[in-house]
Amino acid sequence: MPCESWSRARKWDGGPPPLRDNDSFLYGYDYLTGSNRIRVEQGNALLKATFLLALAAIAAGTPWTIENPFSSRAWLTFEMTKLQELGALPQQVHYCQYGKPWKKATTFLGWKIPSLLLKQCAGSFGQCSASGRKHLVLEGRNSQGVFRTLLAQPYPKDMVADIAAVLFKHLQNL
């Protein structure tokens, strides 16, 4: 599920403004217009569709997983909370453990899926436990003017390979 409109990286800091808050306007500020209103409506529609698909999968006994950044406001919604009440379990990963210079905590919420054996950073004070370096903070733009959050969107290839191996092994054992 795309995270753009649910992101907490949107702040009043000169970049794109926030579209939601964590409380009364979780489903979007009522004053939004134009493209920001459309982004929120699309984000809400995708959340609802994802929720309904997950419910249908649960009814059919079919495993599923949903991914979004750990800090995503989507996790605060009724829909995602309800899925956890129905037995979905979160699993967290940190991209720095797969060679990225940023930590980027990401959550996979899954129902009837095995442990994905996702790696997590054990470093402290902003230092990566894998590389020993300071994590790159995902704020602002890089020297080419690209938002750092945009650079961090793709999944690390090694993480994808690890998840695929776990799921392949799980399917073989069914």
42-84 pLDDT tens trace: 999 999 999 999 999 999 999 999 999 999 999 999 999 999 9
Confidence band of 120 (pLDDT split at 50, 70, 90) = very high
Angstrom distance (rounded) from CA 54 to CA 107: 16
pLDDT at 174 over 80: no
CB-CB contact of 50 with 2 (8 Å): no
The residues pairing with 105 across neighbouring beta strands, listed in sequence order, are: 94
How large is the average pLDDT for residues 145-149?
91
Q: If pLDDT is split at 50, 70 and 90, which confidence band does 8 have?
A: confident
pTM of this structure: 0.91
pLDDT of residue 31: 97
In the chain, the amino acid numbered 31 is Y
Distance of CA 51 to the CA centre of its chain: 15
Q: How far is CA 137 from CA 18, 39, 64, 97, 98, in A?
A: 18, 25, 31, 15, 16
The average pLDDT across 146-151 equals: 91
> Three-state DSSP class for 77?
coil
Domain boundaries, the chain: 4-172
- For tokens 């990286």, the residue is 9
Mean pLDDT in residue range 91-98: 98
What average pLDDT does the structure give for the chain? 94
pLDDT the model gives residue 2: 76
Residue 1 — very low, low, confident or very high, per pLDDT cuts 50/70/90? confident
Between the CA of residue 86 and those of 82, 89, 159, what are the distances in Å? 6, 9, 27
